Chain A
């Protein structure tokens, strides 16, 4: 798994390529932690390059959501591929997280 962080106007994007599983989870957690600590708790996770996600990966997203919200921000997910969507549906996590078409539109209007 590879992970790249980039800053935008009023939010930051973490792009994940490859497989987001238990071994990649700490990387995501650290990336979220770094952003929150540097005062940028508005975060979009760009999943367009994510080939596979399992429940540990979802767990890392939820931990990130918690971290961001506790600091007054939010964590949103964007560009969700089909495999990831299937896993979100399986666990009902799509009832909690909303799926944004692109990272740029994730914080639109809010």
Chain B
């Protein structure tokens, strides 16, 4: 254990202890209840931040460099380059670099845009080219996850290196990572950093994430929870396929049980109203078959047998009834056409519309109609997953960001993951604020979707450490709401003299300063000269993005509203200029802060404000202003310097 690592642990522990000491005192002894409308939100925000500190300290508790693998690289590998609409040149640059990877492998371009010119270029370069098969026509496509799932069934390497179209791999990327899999047969994935070559020192858009692709991933790795980040990662095919099979079994089991339950009640109602004895006996037989199937499944009998039996019985009953009951069919068809069961493509689960189901159950169907309705039910939920292009879907399709969900499912099945801290691929970051905001929104939405649909805190199969590591990332995306409070509190004080705490007293400083200083020290030691300031600025300055992500993700998960999902542009800059509609909240906040600062100073000058309070809040506001200034820098940013010939060519092409 190195001295630095010991120091990190000591600081992490002190951070949490001092933080708890401060926040407990805040709750018990210093909330200014007369101004509860700002005092309570502020103390809640501080509690949120303390929990964030706890998660960060917990992550750092195990943040260490992973030793290089012992085993030599082995196994067969497919390199998969996923593309949708990126320029052909960009994809081919990546593909040619991928072909040059030193370890023996096959290279494939997965073209979701099915572009003939890309197919030609791939053939000329001698790399494989795959598009979706016709199975996918009129089926949910599941974006990038679907693209990769499709390729999984067209390739056969034991390991898969996944690359985004802009990520140019190092020739040694496989040599450095494959050994981990040989060392540990239960290892499912190795993630390497994402690093961007089109970003200069200033990095006004905060594209590099040295803290995440570094101490944070290393810390998560320490808890066996290194995240999969969608690109620059090697995955074990067996682990992914197993995930697909287990998911298939789970989906088929739940949907079959539901379908049979509804089917039985439908037929039971027809039995009661049947006048004709021959008809009644036919229906009774069918009901018995369904009922037997249900008990069999409940007892653990294989589902394929049960559904096959029901299907055969339904077909026979429908043949027997068809001759007798022709007149009533027309009316029934209309009702049956509105089968109340749908697949939700985004959550990949069966959605049963309970209201429509009730309507179906009370609709005046003829006996044949009821049997047809059962057929419809079975079709909607059948074992072969006819609604999907592929019955088995290894990569999670639960969320717009498939990577986090996939890794979490793998961890829940007992697979392990690793983070390899060495830049082995170089990609392109967004070059304008608008594109960057879209990308951050998408990440946040995806993460929050997973939190709401498949909460790691209660997910079976995860260890306590893994639960907390996943939840920590989700928790950090809730910061938009607390940011509003952190902005409002000093403004309230400077303008109206409203105190959220009982006093800016010695008590306050004695508890706050140790917490604050140790926290900053911890950060300093961890960052070790890295440029983490951009990340800190954006975690506060993007508060409208975080809030919007929370609202839209909740709307999507709870109310079924669609997310406006956009593929991030990888080719240069958005030409629409400064995204005023996206950044007006930050600009407004800056003006309000500046005005509040002036008013506060005037109030101090005329003697209506307290010196210490004004000082504290002035420092606070200046900090906020410096943080927010990044938005102005970013809005003015026009990408890194390029030589004029390139720019002219790019503009000519656009």
Chain A residues at the B interface, C-beta cutoff of 8 Å: 21-23, 25-26, 54-56, 58-59, 62-63, 65-67, 69-70, 74, 76, 90-99, 110
Q: Are A25 and B153 in contact (CB under 8 A)?
A: yes
CA distance A17 to B384 in the complex (A): 25
Is A65 a contact partner of B249 (Cβ separation < 8 A)? no
Whether B302 lies near A56 (C-beta < 8 A) is no
B244 CB contacts on chain A under 8 angstroms? 55, 59
Are B246 and A92 interface neighbours, CB within 8 A? Answer: yes
Provide a sorted-by-A list of 25 A–B residue pairs whose CB atoms are within 8 angstroms: A21-B156, A22-B155, A22-B156, A55-B244, A56-B156, A56-B238, A58-B241, A58-B245, A59-B241, A62-B248, A62-B392, A63-B390, A63-B391, A65-B391, A66-B384, A67-B384, A95-B249, A95-B300, A96-B249, A96-B252, A96-B253, A98-B301, A99-B302, A110-B308, A110-B312
* B302 touches which of A22, A25, A91, A95 (Cβ 8 Å): A95
Residues of B within 8 A of A63 (CB): 153, 390-392
Contacts of A70 in B (CB 8 A): 384, 386
Please encode chain B, from 387 to 411, with 1 for each CB lying within 8 Å of some chain A CB and 0 for all others. 0001110000000000000000000
**CB-defined contacts of B241 to chain A, threshold 8 Å:** 22, 54-56, 58-59
Q: Is B183 an interface residue (CB 8 A)?
A: no
Question: Does B253 lie within 8 Å of A22, measured CB to CB?
Answer: no
Could you tell me which residues of chain B, from 487 to 539, have a CB within 8 Å of some CB in chain A? none
Q: From B384, which residue of chain A is reached at the shortest CB distance?
A: A66
Assess whether B287 is interfacial by the CB under 8 Å rule. Answer: no
CB-CB under 8 A for A93 and B245, given A62-B392, A98-B305? yes
Residue of B nearest to A23 (CB): B156
Q: Which residue of A lies closest to B386 (CB)?
A: A70
Q: Confirm or deny: B592 has a beta carbon within 8 angstroms of a beta carbon on chain A.
A: no
Bound together, the chains give a CA A56 to CA B253 distance in angstroms of: 20
User: How far is B246's CA from A59's CA once the two chains are assembled, in angstroms?
Assistant: 10
Residue among B238, B250, B302 with max Cβ neighbours from chain A (10 Å): B302
Q: Which residues of B contact A (CB under 8 A)?
A: 153, 155-158, 237-238, 241-242, 244-246, 248-250, 252-253, 300-305, 308-309, 312, 382-386, 390-392
Contact B308 A65 (CB under 8 A): no
In the assembled complex, the Cα of A109 lies from the Cα of B344 at a distance in Å of 37
Residues on A with C-beta less than 8 A from B383 are 65, 69, 96
| Residues of chain A within 8 A of B157, CB atoms compared | 22
Among B245, B300, B301, point to the contact of A55 (Cβ < 8 A).
Answer: B245
A66 adjacent to B252 (CB under 8 Å): no
Contact assessment for A62 and B386 in the assembled complex, using a CB-CB cutoff below 8 Å: no
For the residues of A in contact with B, the DSSP-based class is helix
Bound: A15/B551 CA distance, A: 55
| Shortest Cβ gap from B460 to chain A (Å) | 13
Q: How far is the CA of A70 from the CA of B157 in the complex (A)?
A: 29
B245 in contact with A59 (CB, 8 Å)? yes
* Residue on A nearest B249 in the bound complex, by CB: A92
Indicate if the CB atoms of A65 and B304 lie closer than 8 Å.
Answer: yes
Top 6 nearest A-B pairs (CB, nearest first) are A55-B241, A98-B302, A66-B384, A22-B156, A55-B242, A91-B245
Closest-by-CB residue of A relative to B390 is A63
* Additional pairs, 18, CB under 8 Å, beyond known A22-B157, A95-B249, A96-B302: A22-B241, A55-B241, A58-B241, A58-B245, A62-B245, A63-B391, A65-B383, A65-B384, A70-B384, A91-B242, A92-B249, A93-B249, A95-B302, A95-B303, A96-B253, A97-B302, A98-B305, A110-B308
- A66 pairs with B301, CB closer than 8 A: no
Q: Are B249 and A66 in contact (CB under 8 A)?
A: no
CB nearest neighbor in B for A99 = B302
Contact status A74-B300, CB under 8 Å:
no
Q: How far is the CA of A88 from the CA of B644 in the complex (A)?
A: 61
Known: A95-B303, A98-B304. A66 touches B245 (CB 8 A): no
In the assembly, what is the distance between CA of A110 and CA of B383, in Å?
18
Considering the chains assembled together, what is the distance between the CA atoms of A98 and B249 in angstroms?
13
Verify B392–A59 contact, CB threshold 8 A.
yes
Question: Interface centre among B248, B253, B303, B384, by most A CB within 10 Å?
Answer: B384
Chain B residues, Cβ within 8 Å of A90: 242
**Roughly how many angstroms separate A21 CA and B303 CA in the complex, as a whole number?**
24
> Which residues does chain A contribute within 8 Å of B237, judged by CB atoms?
22, 56
* Complexed CA–CA distance, A94 and B248 (Å): 12
Which residue of the partner chain A has the closest CB to B303? A96
Q: Is the CB of A94 within 8 A of B302?
A: yes
B310 CB, nearest partner CB in chain A, Å = 12
Q: How far is B391's CA from A25's CA once the two chains are assembled, in angstroms?
A: 15
Tell me the minimal C-beta distance from A83 to chain B in angstroms.
14
A36 to B244, CA, bound (A): 24
- A67 contact set on B, CB distance < 8 A: 384
Expressed in whole angstroms, the Cα–Cα distance for A11 and B249 within the complex equals 26
Per the bound structure, the CA–CA distance linking A22 and B394 in Å amounts to 14
Q: Which of B250, B300, B308 has the most CB of A within 10 A?
A: B308
- Docked CA distance A94–B155 (Å): 26
Q: Is the CB of B249 within 8 A of A74?
A: no
Point out the residue from A23, A54, A91 that lies within 8 Å of B249, measured CB to CB.
A91
For B382, list chain A residues within 8 Å (CB): 69
Interfacial chain A residues near B312, Cβ < 8 Å: 110
Kindly provide the distance from the CB of B603 to the nearest chain A CB, expressed in whole angstroms: 69
Rounded to whole angstroms, the CA-CA distance of A89 and B432 in the bound complex is 51
Chain A nearest CB from B571 CB (Å) reads 34
**Minimal beta-carbon separation of B589 from chain A (angstroms):** 51
Closest to A56 in B: B241
User: Smallest distance from the beta carbon of A92 to chain B beta carbons, Å?
Assistant: 4
Cβ of A71 to closest chain B Cβ, rounded Å: 10
Nearest-neighbour CB distance to chain A for B525, whole angstroms, equals 43
CB neighbours (8 Å) of B390 from chain A are 63
A110, B311: Cα distance in complex, Å: 11
B309 touches A110 (CB 8 A): yes
Q: B305 to chain A: which residues have CB within 8 Å?
A: 98
